[in-house]
Structure 1
Amino acid sequence: MTAADHPQAGRGWAFPPRWRRPEDEPAGVPAVATSEDAQHVEEAMVLLLRTMLGSRVMRPGLGAGVDRWVFEPRTTDACHRLADDVRRALVLGEPRVVVDAVQAVPAGEAEDRVDVTISYRIDRHRRPTSLVVPFYLAGAS
């Protein structure tokens, strides 16, 4: 994919922030690594979901608030409410994507993990993509 595939996706710092050396000059000055296109959108979504509500001074409503589920038992109710928080955060905080579905399910053998699967499109004319973000809860009830 090229930047022409998703012109609204943009380009910015990679997440997590890291340094890279220019390819054409081995002894060159390190620069901040960047990402673009669909990768940039996916990194922005993960950053949004890992942001605690109220942690951004100028945008206190930005974030998913999933940190409040850390000590909750891994029940179907907790999974449903976690998925709802993720959906709300993406709809309000990431205008470049159209969220088709969000599903949170316990992660098999891991007693403290819930996998949240997000089906999304970068715009309404593209084919669907999905992203799985693991969250860790208190364990089996």
Structure 2
Amino acid sequence: MSEHEDDIEESLRILLNTYPGERTMQPEFGTRLRDYCFESFSLRTETLIKAEIRKSILLNEPRVDVEAIVVEQTEKVGVLRINIVYVVRSTNSRRNIVFPFYLNEATDASV
């Protein structure tokens, strides 16, 4: 894996973990994933999470094209696994990132 691709993956992780408004100079940077904490997992929740991630990457990470986003429940209650498949534009390299998301923030769940 090239250093360039490592930087992109780190950028995506930062993007997913940042709430819009946390960065003073970039108020739109981030995702509103925290808004879905304590929501029950349903098709509606899954669709909203996918749309939020896709929109945020489109607006904030021009180095990639998103091919697919898969949101699935894990064996642990309150934990979702988000798999994002993307292509690095400069190298046409297909990559993926797996991001754990905790629907119940106060759980003792670990991935």
- TM-score, normalising length from structure 1? 0.68
Query: Which structure would you say has the larger Rg?
Result: 1
Aligned: 1:89 with 2:43 = no
Tell me, yes or no, if the aligned pair for 1:79 and 1:114 is still in contact at 8 Å. no
Tell me, yes or no, if the aligned pair for 2:63 and 2:90 is still in contact at 8 Å. no
Runs of 4+ in structure 1 deviating by more than 4 angstroms, as ranges, are none
Looking at structure 2, the residues matched to 135 and 57 of structure 1 have their Cα atoms a distance apart, in angstroms, of 25
Tell me, yes or no, if the aligned pair for 1:98 and 1:123 is still in contact at 8 Å. yes
Aligned: 1:49 with 2:5 = no
1:136 maps to amino acid: Y
Aligned: 1:67 with 2:34 = yes
Between Structure 1 and Structure 2, the one with more helix by share is: 2
Q: Which one of 69, 72, 77 corresponds to residue 105 of structure 1?
A: 72
Alignment length (residue pairs): 105
- TM-score, normalising length from structure 2? 0.85
In structure 2, stretches of 5+ residues that fail to align are 105-111
Looking at structure 1, the residues matched to 53 and 82 of structure 2 have their Cα atoms a distance apart, in angstroms, of 8
**RMSD after superposition:** 1.8
- For the residue of structure 2 that corresponds to 1:103, the secondary structure is strand
